[in-house]
Amino acid sequence: MNVSVLGLGYIGLPTAAMLAAAGHTVYGYDVDRALCSRLGEGVVTIAEPEVQLLVSQALAGGGLRVAAELREADAYILCTPTPTVDARPDLRAVEAAAAAVARMAKPGALVVMESTVPPGTTERIVCRALREAGKDPDAFLVAHCPERVLPGNIVHELRTNARILGGRTPQAAAAARELYASFCVGELVLTDCTTAELVKVVENTYRDVNIAFANELAVLAEEIGVDVWETIALANNHPRVSILAPGPGVGGHCIPIDPHFLSNANPFVTELIQTARRVNERMPHRIVRRIAEYAGDAPGTRVALLGAAYKADVDDARETPTQRVDELLSERGYEVRIYDPLVKRFPRALAPTLEEALRDADAAVLMVAHRAFLGIDPYAAGRLMRAKILIDTRNAFAADAWRAAGFTAYTLGGRPRALPVALPV
């Protein structure tokens, strides 16, 4: 089959390569010409080695061809982003991709939306684009097949995750199954388009609500004086309890965004979803308050934020809690340095090395539990810093080892310890 994949980001590019590995002829297309030319030269910037290998092989083998123009194909897969502006989805990239496909596609073609969109969007946008291109939507196979991969484990999950394939018609769902079965060994479950769209946002909203619960417990446990990590581990010992981990907030391009797709649909019946969002959005403020309690809040207090990515071992900084913490600290007059060994794109300059970030800092704040951070030697860190204060928002460091090196160490949700400065009354 010939397949055109629109949008060569974290989902589109690995999917295109996977299809090529399965023997299809795949045309990769992206409006970002610089990205296309980098890929044309074989340069893959996604940090996951398995993705780099898969894509490099697909490019070198000729199964994946990256082009600056959309190519005619039997199937089109739309993997363009759906960011939000003021909690409303910005569907312009999806609409532009649908319009391009509608102009190009011949009757009988399969048009798959993989981008996460509010329920009802695939049918509305794709069919409208086809009509505007003077074509009859009923002559096309329109489907929504939401991606489910976990960044950090993309290739494995692309191949093995169960997929929900929603067709505008049963024929469209069946055509999607044929295509996805060529590379996905997970279960392929057929449904209609709108159900598939709803399932996708429900999955991510479920995770947001679960993380909010963990974050709420972290705050509560600190007040009660118990360790939330131990509490959650013990509660999860129950066969029907599975609480996620607290943290400095919820980032990434999916989980903080998708709940809005549900709450926008009806703000009156989605109180739980909206409250969970607020709980998670408040976490960066809580972290900043802890930094002030431990390191003081005098202007010029130097803070090293370790980790700019939205989570461990990815190079993606979209919606990262680190950015919010940085903004809040900078507004309050702190001097902030951020170091991340993986992130290349960030709204402001990052420290070139860990040492540069830590030098003369009054507090080191672990924001992301990158593997590369776990071996940091507290004695070496302490020698670089002006004051030995550690704020661990991920419970990733052995607090006792840092205390043995002279640090005052705070762990989010950990058992409270004596503070070096008086708490504000």
Minimum distance, C-beta of residue 359 to ligand SAJ, in the bound complex (Å):
27
Q: Decide whether 99 or 372 has the Cβ nearer to ligand SAJ.
A: 372
Q: Decide whether 203 or 293 has the Cβ nearer to ligand SAJ.
A: 203
Minimum distance, C-beta of residue 222 to ligand SAJ, in the bound complex (Å):
16
Specify whether 311 is catalytic.
no
Dist CA 140 CA 134 (whole Å) = 13
Minimum distance, C-beta of residue 201 to ligand SAJ, in the bound complex (Å):
9
**Active-site position among 135, 145, 184, 200:** 200
Minimum distance, C-beta of residue 342 to ligand SAJ, in the bound complex (Å):
14
Q: Decide whether 147 or 192 has the Cβ nearer to ligand SAJ.
A: 147
* Per-residue b or e along 161-170, where b marks 16 or more CB atoms closer than 10 Å to that residue's CB: bebbbbbbee
Dist CA 76 CA 9 (whole Å) = 16
Name the residue with tokens 């469209």: 172
Q: Decide whether 28 or 151 has the Cβ nearer to ligand SAJ.
A: 151
Dist CA 28 CA 208 (whole Å) = 32
CB 285 within 8 A of CB 142: no
Q: Decide whether 36 or 154 has the Cβ nearer to ligand SAJ.
A: 154
Q: Write out the DSSP string of 121-148.
A: HHHHHHHHHHHHTT--GGGSEEEE----
Dist CA 419 CA 293 (whole Å) = 8
Minimum distance, C-beta of residue 314 to ligand SAJ, in the bound complex (Å):
7
Secondary structure class of 11 (helix, strand, coil): coil
Q: Decide whether 320 or 408 has the Cβ nearer to ligand SAJ.
A: 320
Secondary structure class of 376 (helix, strand, coil): coil
**Active-site position among 145, 254, 311, 388:** 254
Secondary structure class of 2 (helix, strand, coil): strand
DSSP secondary structure letter of residue 150: -
Q: Decide whether 161 or 264 has the Cβ nearer to ligand SAJ.
A: 161
CB 410 within 8 A of CB 391: yes
Residue 320 CB partners (closer than 8 Å, separation 6+): 251, 308, 309, 310, 367
Length of the chain: 425
Specify whether 184 is catalytic.
no
Minimum distance, C-beta of residue 245 to ligand SAJ, in the bound complex (Å):
3
Residue 204 CB partners (closer than 8 Å, separation 6+): 116, 254, 255, 258, 259
Minimum distance, C-beta of residue 11 to ligand SAJ, in the bound complex (Å):
7
The site for ligand SAJ (CB under 6 A) is made up of 116, 147-151, 203-204, 207, 211, 244-245, 247, 250-252, 254-255, 310-311
Strand partners of residue 86: none
DSSP secondary structure letter of residue 349: P
Active site residues: 200, 254
